[in-house]
Chains A and B, each alone.
Chain A
């Protein structure tokens, strides 16, 4: 291999990689605004879906779990508060599971939704199924626990995906509800003192 060859090969590789980089950058510049808009729209729709009874859902604050930024919302119907929605994360088998949890005034879980995760396809991603998410209806803080046996009182683990089930139930949902109870009650107490 002569010096000329080295130059030729390097030039060849550089040209091809630069072209590849330009193509990727163009596609990214073209698609990323659309992706961002989709994500915003999707979040709004996801919030509405969790609290179909509410006619107004407002953000009331930020919090963080697993060093990730999350938000929480208040749901109103007319002037009365009917519940809260909180975003939370659970540490799963292979990813952080991004969830939304809707609770009523008494902090009983109404619905949950899984926004994003990268759990094992076919096992862990069963957390997205309705039959799993339905289990959270009307569960209060004490009953947010995963059991491996048949149960309706608690949350039943998905077979083959106990870690993902636990991450959703005992990490994301439980911590989210706990945080809501603590913050909202504290705020309420402060409110009472002031008035």
Chain B
């Protein structure tokens, strides 16, 4: 019973307490680059979730065979290996999905958040907790990208997932890179404000 609670905590930890973007401020580059449309943000989030879980599992399985001095090059190999495998299998078997997501998948190799979780968590923990940490971190990333891209598309294009919602001239700046910085900054502040208030109340 206690095990289950732990896993749930790991997932929650990834979404709220150690949210990659809003709390750890890692992988901010993709959080600005691909969040100008809700669809893009969502697809990127799903791709990262998958790679993060697979990388965490692989690193956790291999943690005893990896000499500590060479762990970073090995982690990079695992990450790029999974990304390439995903990229190739999707291109072969899921053409339609690949057309939408292909642009993003290769970018994942350079994500700091995935390397960070492999180094900070998966290399020190057993397979099951590593997997749940991956799920939590991936969901947290997905959640952050969806929230950011929701506001950017709504304000910058007046639409959501390509469907027009607001019929007025949109704030173009929100879909340009500058708007990405604004959105990430404001949302990061907002989430930190909420968590500070929440912590004060529970204390």
Contacts and interface: CB of A to CB of B under 8 A. Distances in A.
Interface string A151-168: 000000001100000000
Contact of B74 (A16, A24, A34, A122): A16
Contact of A121 (B70, B78, B85, B104): B104
Interface of B: 33-37, 40, 62, 65-67, 69-70, 73-74, 77-78, 81, 84-85, 88-89, 91-93, 95, 103-104, 172, 175-176
Given A16-B74, A34-B92, A35-B91, A122 B81 contact: no
A35 B77 CA distance: 24
Contact of B88 (A16, A28, A123, A159): A28
B81 A23 contact: yes
Contacts of B104: 121
Interface in A26-53: 27-28, 30-32, 34-35, 38, 42
Contacts, number: 71
A27 B85 contact: yes
A9 to B, nearest CB: 5
B85 A122 contact: no
A8 interface: yes
B94 to A, nearest CB: 10
Contacts of A9: 67, 69-70
Nearest to B37: A122
B118 to A, nearest CB: 14
A166 B62 CA distance: 50
Nearest to A38: B95
Interface in A135-171: 159-160
A24 B176 contact: no
* Residue in A16, A23, A32 whose Cβ sees the most chain B Cβ within 10 Å: A16
A121 B33 contact: yes
A12 B70 contact: yes
Nearest to B84: A24
